[in-house]
Amino acid sequence: MLIGYARVSTKDQNLDAQIDALEAAGAERIFKEKVTGKTRQRPELDRLLDHLRADDVVVITKYDRLARSLKDLIEIVERIRERGAGFRSLAEDIDTTTPTGRLIFHVFGSIAEFERERIVERTKEGLAAARRRGRAGGRPAVLTAEQRAEVRRMRDEGRRTSEIAELFKVSTQTVRRA
């Protein structure tokens, strides 16, 4: 039996495209989930794994719908294999029910993990280069250095936080941070 798994990360995202692809691939049952892939608590994935029988094949549209990291992906596919079932990813055209499919699965997974790590490295390098040039990331400060000094002086005088916040037209949290 072909068993599908469809997942999106947020409640406002739509599962329709994944469901259509899984149905077109012949999935007889589809487990649907709206939860981030980062969390280990994925009740529908757990139900799918409990439901698996020997010779079933779990089918997904893309690797990232099942797992966020190579380690996680390999662990899940190993759990599928332990149940005597296979794994198939439509986008990557991988089918672990064959020796070639298993080899390609591990190669593709390694490449995906490598690319994710390179993206993180490039992002960190870009941020460091920007900092060296005097540019700081994040949101611009609401209060200038002079205003922050004035806020501290007013607090030292015993003025209420809410009063200072109203005066500078900022939140009380901004005043506390200053």
Q: What are the residue numbers of the active site?
A: 9
Rounded to 5 degrees, what angle do the CA atoms 59, 118, 68 make?
30
Report the amino acid identity of residue 6: A
Q: What is the DSSP string of 9-63?
A: SSTTS--HHHHHHHHHTT-SEEEEEES-TT-S--HHHHHHHHH--TT-EEEES-G
| Closest residue by Cα to residue 52 from 71, 28, 25 | 28
What span, in angstroms and rounded, lies between the C-alpha atoms of 174 and 166?
A: 11
Torsion angle, alpha carbons of 88, 30, 112, 130, to 10: 170
Cβ atoms of 51 and 25 within 8 Å: the answer is no
